[in-house]
Structures are given as structure tokens and as C-alpha cells.
Structure 1
Amino acid sequence: MERIAAHMTLSSGLYRFGLAFVFGAFAALALAPVNLFIAAFVSFSVLLWLLEGAVGNPSSGIIGRNMPAFLVGWAFGLGYFVAGLWWTANALLVEADEYAWALPLAIFGLPAYLAIFYGLATMLARLFWTDGGLRLFSLAAAFGLMEWLRGFVLTGFPWNAIGQALMPFPLMMQSVFLTGSLLMNVIAVFIFASPGLLVGGRRSSWAFIVAMLLLGAHLGYGAYRLNFREPESTQLAAAPVVRIVQPMIDQAAKINDSERGRIFEEHLALTREPPPAGGKVPDIILWPETSIPFILTRNPDALSKIADTLSDGQILIAGAVRVESDNAIDNPRFYNSIYMIDSQGQIIGAADKVHLVPFGEYLPLETLWSKIGLTAIAADMPGGYSAATNRQLLTTPAGLKLWPLICYEVVFPELSSDVNERADAIVNVTNDGWFGNSSGPYQHFQQARIRAVEFGVGLIRNSNSGISAIINPYGELLKGLDYQVKGFVDGPIPHKILPILHERTRFLNFGLIELLIFATLLFSRVSFIFNRN
């Protein structure tokens, strides 16, 4: 290992850049659907070695001296995000004649932008670099800070945060209930990069030991939490039953006006199916995002058909486009929404999407882009969708409070910060059919599972083409339908778990730990300079 580490450290130029890109891409194997988390140990150890030799000209100023470190991190991030997000380009192929020209932007443009955060992370880490084990803290804290920024800068895109690689299955998800996602990013980098210290002599070995103890605590807490919990059987027996309808409608058909009637009937047919032998008639029916293929409030016949399909007392929760306007003709505003409809065909609740997808549901700087004929990919109306100003709960007549998250809203932890206090469960509706049979739907599903564990609530997820599931607060699947399986599944809505720490406290803990690490690193750096002089 000493020879490999020395080779990485002494590499330079395009070769160093290429190594960073390759091992960044290798790190993406730690993500769903592969979940080979051992790949992150290899990749981050190599990143640590590459940063060892990433030293600029001392006379170039603070930026010039640290630019090699930035380029190493940026190349690493480029490889990681290209390998982890290439599937976003599939959305452009649904209407290839109109959007195929933008494929390079999806495959390389978005990753190139996201990689800037990793470049800044390695640059910041190099500013506080030391020869001993503290460099591991420097790298972990810098990545933690930049993953936090990645979650909200320019509306944010925290997809495939590093911490997710340390949570591939329920045993390894439980710690996020204590730490929250932000601190988990710090812990993940600290653990993943620790094998790189094994070539650093005794001054570094102590940090590796700390990392292994932290990994042991992570696994141990997961085992404890899963094995010493109250039985769920009694609670689930009395819980409301939800039916998840997964129609598996091809995306090309969903945007074809002539297919709308057939699509609506397919949803109704799956809703009418009797429960499996011995099963309870569902209390709630859940359809996926934009499953109602027309403006429902302008189509009373559709509401009548829904009423005829539902049994007495049943509730339908379905994704739809909602329109709102001061004038029925001029300047309508469209919302990506969820409707709640009772068995009389009455709309008794609605919730609009708060966090829209840039370029998918709306165009930033629309006036500029419209000059070249660009429109939002997933919104076929002028101006795209409008965002809601606040999140509305869906409360059923029986008093069940549901926290609605539409599509990728589920990947933003802050959008669910109050869910345990205000709601009984999360409802996540999405349409991953845009992305075909790729890693995208699996990554989306994995992040939804993590959100359930993080906030201690059950999650009912419906994706048009899969993966749909009922997930308990431990990240376990109670019922589900795999990707590209047409059908329905009935199951009880899990009870939530009272949180140990509120999200505000977890965020405060993250901030204090970041501050403590950087203060310690600064003190160490100043002491080193003082002693050298």
C-alpha cells in the first residue's frame, strides 16, 4: 500500500486529474442500486493521497497555492456525479426531437456544476492540512460543509450526498435518526478516507482507530435499534390500510393527449380490484404524481367516475395538475399538486409542490431561455409550474395527517424537518418513468427510505413505474412493488416514532461539530507555523 500511496501522491498534471476522475466514478458504486459501500473506502483513501501531493506554487497567493487541490476535488466530483447522475439524460430522450441537443448538458453540465462543491471541499481541506491524523478531520469537515451548501445554493440539489453511501440498508441507516443527514456526511467521509492513513505512520494511526470505533458504533447502534424495539404487529393490525396503485404508464403515453382517457381508466381499474383473500378493504387509495391526466376541476365527469369507483368512506389521494387564476382565461397559474377526493367525488383537500425542479418544472431566468425556444421539460404549459409558498397537510376525515412530498422533494431533509410534530406519515408521489430503467429510480427510492428513518415516520411512496412501497420508520419495506411492475399493493400505514432529537437540535450539533473541528485545525495550523519559526 505504501508504494500505491506514494504513486498517487507523486502523480501530477492530467494523470492526477484522470486518477481523481476515475476514482470519483468508482465511488458511485457505493450508491443504489449497487450499494457497494466498500468502493467509497477505496476512492476516498485515494483522494486523501492525491491531496497529499496537490501543492501549488508557494509564490502564487492563497488561491494559486490551493488550485491543484481544487482541481483534484473537482475532477473527483465530476467522476462521481457523471457516474451517479448520467440517467438524468433519459428525460431528454422522451421527446428526443426537441431536447436531444441538451444531452451533453445533462450528462456533463450538471455534474460539472455539482463538482465545484467537491473542489471547494478539497481546497478548504488543504488550507487546514497537516501531516498527522488531523487531515482526516479536515477532509471530513470540509465535505460536510460543502454538502450542506449543495443542498440550498441555486435552489439546491443534494442528490447522492456522500452520507448516503454509509447507509445502504436498514442496519446502517439507523444512526441518521440521531445525527441527521448533514452530520452523517461528515461521519461518512471521516470513515471512508481513514484507510488512507495506514501509510502515515503512528502519528496517523490514532485517527484510523477513531474512525473504526465510529464505524463500530454506527453498526452497533443499528443492530441495537432493530433488535430491541417494540413489536409493530399490534399497531399495524389497527392501522389504516392504504392501496398503492402502480399503473406503469409509459412516459411517451403520458404526454400523448389521445392516451389520457385510457390512462385514467387504468388507474380506476386497479383501484376497483378486490383486496387479496382475507385482506381488508383499503381506507385510502394512492395514485402517483400527475396521475390524473387532465385538469380535474374542469372535468366533472372524472369526479363522478372516481365517486363510482370508490367504496363508501374510501379516500383517493392522487397527483394532478391544479390550475388557479384570477380570471378563468387570462394568466392561469399551474401547480404540481396532490388532491384528496372522497367517495362522493368531492375534493376535500389539496397540496401543491413547494420545491420545483429547475429546467424540469420551471425555467430560471425564463425570459432569457425562451428567446432560444427552451421550455421546461416536464411542464407542457407556458411558464411551467408555479411553486406553493408553504406546505399544506392532507388530513383525512378520520383525522390521519399526511405530509405530502412530491417527486424529489423527498431528497431535501429540511423540507421534512417538522413532519414528526405535525403529521402521522409521509406521502411521496413521483413519476420516475422519465428516467427509464436506470439507477435513478433506485437512488430516489433509497433516499426516501433514509428520510423515513431520519424523521421516525412511516412513508407511503407511489411511483408511476416503480419503486412503490410502504416503508416503516426503520427503513424496512412492509409492502412494495418493484420497478416496472404493474399492479397494486395493500398494506397498513406504520406508526411514527417519537424523535430523540429535533431537526433543529441536529442541525445545531452539526454546526457545533464543524466549528469545533475547524477551530482545532486552525489552532494546530497556527501552532505548527509558530513552532517552525
Structure 2
Amino acid sequence: MEWLAGRVMLVSGMRRAGVAVLAGLLTVLALPPFDLFAIPFFTLPLLVWLIDGVSGNPDHGMLRRSFPAFAIGWCFGFGYLAGSLWWLGAALLVEADTFAWALPFAVLGLPAFLAIYYGLAVSLARLLWSDGWGRIAALALGFGVAEWLRGILLTGFPWNAIGYTAMPVPVLMQSSAIIGISGMNIAAVFVFAAPALLGTRRGLRAGLGLAILMVGLHVGYGAYRLSLPAAVPLDPPLTVRIVQPLIDQAKKLDDSERSAVFEAHLALSAAAVDGGSRRPDLIVWPETAVPFLLTDNPDALARIADVLQDGQILVTGAVRTEDAGAGLPPRFYNSIYVIDDRGQIVGAADKVHLVPFGEYLPFETLFAKAGLSAVAASMPGGFSAAAARTVLTLPGGRTLYPLICYEAIFPGELGNAPLSAAALLNVTNDAWFGETPGPYQHFQQARLRSVETGVPMIRGANSGISAVVDGRGTVVKGLDLGARGFVDVDLPGRTIPPFTPEAQVRNAILLAIVAALVALAARLGFRLPKN
């Protein structure tokens, strides 16, 4: 191990950049659908040794001296993000004639931009670098700060934050209920990077000992939480049918197919119950399942009323329109409707956190002059964002906390609000991305919101993965990616055991961890980059 560490430290030039990119690329194997979470125990030590070998010209200013460390972090981040986000290009090929030109920007440009955060992570870590295990704490701190910034700046894009590599199965997800994904980012980097100490021997006993203790606490708490009694069933029970129609995205965009798409959803909704289940009380369709404006189509509402039995409720993704006032074009919203058995719309919620370039154009006036439009929004100007999140109230008084599509990857979209809801409701249309790693990654991140809140999730996806997930992240019942059909399942109750703090307390714990890491890394070796 010492021999390998020495060789990596001495790598220079393009070979150094290549090793960093390769380390990031291999780290992707720890994410779904591969879930090889042992891989970062090899790739993060490589990153540590690469940073060990960084030097800066003492005659240069601070920023120029920091550049070699920044470059190593950027290369690692580019490999990791390009390897885990390449599937975004699939959305551009749905309407290739219009959007194929943007493929390099999505597949390479976005990872190159997001990798700046990882460059900053390593630059920050290098300021606190030392010869012993303090540098492991410094790297964990750097990544923690960088991932936090990635999740909030420019509307945020925390997709595949590094902490998700440590949570492939429910027993390894439960710690996020205490420290959240931000805390998991820090803990994951510390633990995964700790084997680097085997290559240098300095601080080996203390660093590896702390890492082993963290792993023990992580696994132990996960096993404890999963050993607790199952959630008390809802009383009265609520049986949910999730419809997964598997409609090809090109077909959804074809005006001549709209009636067939709508009828496909109705047919699955009207099918006989899934073996031994109660008749569904609630039927869930995915994001933008209705291929036209429902409020302009009373016949469609009548068809829904024909299919729904007495007392049944349909919750569906749809586009909602709103008059913006005299002389102004109407606003369009990516929404969820609640429809009763008489075909009446009795509730609605609009998406708050839109996808830049997917659902709306930042700097719209500038881009519109260049003839650009949002990828997933066919109406002029794209979608508008709701001013505030609306909780859906079902007939009978139960509530659902709506998260439309990638809103589910943002823990900050929840706070403490969902704790009174019967379930989180995540509707999405991952058919844009085909059978790529994207839908698997999306599902993993969505189910973590249930773990963090203890509230079950109903997740309806056009092409999968659809499921009911309990408050510990365990799939109760679901449909795999690429399957067509429906699933009937009784919604479990909430699962909120001891030691699951509310959002404010979790943030306080995270700040305490950050403060401890700063103090530790500074105590063991604060320095500016030098040769």
C-alpha cells in the first residue's frame, strides 16, 4: 500500500489529471444501479494521495498556488459527474431534430461546470492539509461544504451528492434521519478516504479507529431502526393503486396519440384488483399523465368519472393553466390534480422547484432571441413556478405532501411540513431518460426523503420505478423500471422512532460536525499551499 501511495503521489502532468478523472469515474459504480459501495474505499484514497503530491509555486499568489489542488478536485469531480449524469443526453434525443445540438453541453458541459464545486472542495481541504489523519477530516469538510453549495446555488442541483454512495440499502440509509444528506456527505468522504492512511502510516491508528467507529455507529443505528416494530397501519386503511403506463415519451408528445395515452391510463385504473388487495381508495397517475388541459376538456373529466367507482379518488400529474391578466400570455404550471368520483377537480398543487433548461429558461429573453426553448415544456415560455407549496387534501381530510419529479432530491423542500401528512407523493416522468441509470438514481434519492422524515412515500413514475416506500426507505411493493401495469398496496403509517430529530435539530447537529472538523483539521495542520 505504501508503494502504491508513493507512486500516485509522484504522478504528474496529464497522467495526474487522468488518474483523478479515472478515480471519479470509478466512484460512479457505488451509485445505482450498480451499488458497489466498496469502490470508494479505493478511489477516495487515490484522491488523497494525489492531493498529497500537489505543490504550488511559492512565488505565485495564493490563488495561483491553489490551482494545482483545484485542478485535481475538478478532474475527480468531472469524472464522477460525467460518469453519473451522461444519461441526461437521452432527453435531448427524444426530439433530436430540435435539441440534439445541445448534447455535448448536457453530457460534458454540465459535469464540467458542476465539477467546479469539487475543485473548491479540494482547494479548501488543501488549506487545512496535514501529514496525518487531519487531512482526511479536511477533505471531508471540503466535500461537505462543496456539496452544500451545489445543493443551493443557482437553484441547486444536488443530484448524486457523494453521500449517496454510502447508502445503497435501507440498513445503510438510516443515519440520514439524524444528520441528513449533508452530514452523510461528510461522513462518507471521511470513512472512504481513511484507507489512504495505510499508504502513509501517519495518523493510522487514530484515523482508522475513528472511521471504524463511524461505520459501526452507521450500521448499528441502521440495524436498530429496522428492528423496531413496523408502522401502525392507517385507520381506516388507505389502499393505493399506482398506475405505471410505460408510455414512450415521443408518443406522449404526439398530438395524434393523446386520446390513446389517456385511455391507457384509464384502462389500468379500471382493471381488477391486484391479488387479494382491497379495492383501491386512491389511484395515482404519474407526472403530466394527462396529455391535454383537463379544464378545457370536460369530456375527459366525464371519462374519469365513468371509470372511478364510488368514493375513489384520482391523483394525477397534469398541466394547469392560469390567466395572467389583460394582454399577457397565460401561465402554465406542472401540477397535480385531485379528482373525485364525479369528475370534479377538488384539489391541486403546482410545482415549486422547476428544472432549469428543462421546464423553464433562465434569462429567458436572452435565450429566446437565440431560438432556444425548454426541453420538457412545449408551451411558449415554459412552466411557471408556484409561489409556495400546497399540501393536497383528500376528501375525508387526509393530506399528501406533493413532490413533483426532481423536487424529491431536495431535502430543503420538506422541512418539518410533511410530518402531519399521510404520505409524501412523488410523481415523475423518467421516460425522458429511457432505461439508463438515471431513474434508478432518482428513486434512491427520493426514498431518502422518507427515511429522513419517517413518512411513507407514494411514488408514481410513467416508466418506473413506481413504489410505496415506508418511513424507513423499505419498498413495500412496486414496479420495476420498464414494466407496464399497476400495483395495489395498503399505505403504511408513519415510522418516527427515537433519535430522529426535526429539520432544525438536524441542521444544528450538522453545524456541530462542521465546527469539529474545522477545529480538528486546523489543530493538526493549517497551512497555505506551498511546494
TM-score of the aligned structures, taking structure 2 as reference length: 0.97
Read off the aligned partner of 1:15 and give its amino acid letter: R
Using the TM superposition, give the Cα deviation of residue 204 of structure 1 relative to its aligned residue in structure 2, in angstroms. Answer: 3.2
Please state whether the residue corresponding to 1:285 is helix, strand or coil. Answer: strand
Find the aligned partners of 2:159 and 2:296 in 1 and give their Cα distance: 36
Quote the residue 1:263 is aligned against.
261
- Larger CA deviation: 356-365 vs 393-402: 393-402
Shift of 1:5: 0.6
Structure 1 SS opposite 2:171: helix
- In the TM superposition, what are the counterparts of 1:30-429 in structure 2 within 5 Å? 30-227=30-227, 229-232=228-231, 235=233, 238-327=236-325, 330-429=328-427
Counterpart secondary structure, 2:290: coil
8 Å Cα contact 1:419-1:455 kept in structure 2: no
Structure 2 residue identity aligned to 1:179: I
Does structure 1 conserve the Cα–Cα contact (< 8 Å) formed by 2:348 and 2:392?
yes
- 2: CA distance, partners of 1:320 / 1:51: 49
For 2:484 and 2:51, locate their aligned partners in 1 and report how far apart those are by CA, in whole Å: 49
Measured in 2, the distance between the counterparts of 1:235 and 1:160 equals 33
Give the drift of 1:200.
2.2
Amino acid at match of 1:264: F
Q: Helix, strand or coil: the match of 1:349?
A: strand
Indicate conservation of the 8 Å contact 2:274/2:487, yes or no: no
| Aligned counterpart, 2:459 | 461
The answer on whether the counterparts of 2:459 and 2:468 sit within 8 Å (CA) in structure 1 is yes
Question: Conserved in 1, the CA contact under 8 Å of 2:318 and 2:336?
Answer: yes
Gaps of at least 5 residues in structure 1 are none
CA distance in 1, matches of 2:274, 2:402: 27
Q: Distance in 1 between matches of 2:344 and 2:81?
A: 45
Q: 2:482 — aligned with what?
A: 484
Q: Deviations over 1:286-321 (max 9, x none)?
A: 000000110111111111111111011111000000
Structure 2 match to 1:6:
6
Q: Distance in 1 between matches of 2:418 and 2:368?
A: 41
**More off after superposition, 410-419 vs 463-472:** 410-419
- Cα deviation digits, residues 394-419 of structure 1 (max 9, x gap): 01112211000000000001101124
Q: What is the CA RMSD across the aligned residues, in angstroms?
A: 1.5
CA distance in 1, matches of 2:166, 2:230: 27
- Give me the whole-angstrom Cα distance separating, in 2, the residues matched to 1:329 and 1:477: 49
CA distance in 2, matches of 1:224, 1:326: 53
AA matched with 1:4: L
Aligned AA (1:78): F
| Cα distance, 1:372 vs structure 2 | 1.5
After alignment, is 417-426 or 162-171 more displaced?
417-426
Q: Tell me how far 1:329 sits from its aligned partner.
A: 8.0
Deviation at 1:327, TM superposition (A): 4.5
Unaligned runs of 5+ in 2: none
* 1:420/1:496 contact within 8 Å kept: no
SS of the residue corresponding to residue 460 of structure 2 reads: strand
Judge which range, 74-83 or 447-456, deviates more.
447-456
**Alpha-carbon distance, 1:515 to partner:** 2.2
How many angstroms does 1:73 deviate by?
0.3
Distance 1:238 1:163, change over 3 A: same
- CA shift for structure 1 position 423: 1.6
Q: Which amino acid aligns with 2:376?
A: A
**What SS does the corresponding residue of 1:243 show, helix, strand or coil?**
strand
- AA matched with 1:310: L
In 2, Cα distance between the equivalents of 1:203 and 1:218? 22
Once the two structures are superposed, what CA deviation does each residue of 1:460-494 show, in whole Å capped at 9, x if it has no partner?
00110001000001111111011111100000112
Name the amino acid aligned to 1:432.
D
Alpha-carbon distance between aligned partners in 1 of 2:119 and 2:519, rounded to the nearest angstrom: 21
Please state how far the C-alpha of 1:179 moved relative to its aligned partner. 1.3
Structure 2: how far apart are the matches of 1:231 and 1:149? Answer: 36
Letter in 1 for 2:157: F
Answer 1 or 2: higher relative contact order, Cα 8 Å, separation at least 6.
2
Query: 1:362·1:379 contact (CA, 8 Å) conserved in 2?
Result: yes
Distance (Å, rounded) in 1 between the aligned partners of 2:324 and 2:101: 37
Q: Report the Cα offset of residue 15 of structure 1.
A: 0.7
Provide the C-alpha distance between the structure 2 equivalents of 1:231 and 1:379, rounded to a whole number of angstroms: 42
Residue by residue over 1:266-297, the C-alpha shift from the partner in whole angstroms, topping out at 9 and shown as x without a partner, is: 11111111113432110100000000110111
* Match of residue 24 from structure 2: 24
How many angstroms apart in 2 are the aligned matches of 1:224 and 1:498?
A: 13
SS in 2 for 1:245: strand
Deviates more, 1:492-501 or 1:144-153: 492-501
Question: Structure 1 length as normaliser, TM-score?
Answer: 0.96
Deviation at 1:238, TM superposition (A): 4.8
Alpha-carbon distance in 2 for matches of 1:390, 1:463: 24
The 3 A distance-change label for structure 1 pair 329 and 301 is farther
Given that residues 260 and 293 in structure 1 are in contact (C-alpha distance below 8 angstroms), is that contact kept between their aligned partners in structure 2? Answer: yes
1: CA distance between counterparts of 2:377 and 2:230? 45
Residues 9, 49 of structure 1: 8 Å contact kept: yes
Give the Cα separation in 1 of the matches to 2:524 and 2:42: 28
8 Å CA contact 1:242, 1:285 repeated in 2: yes
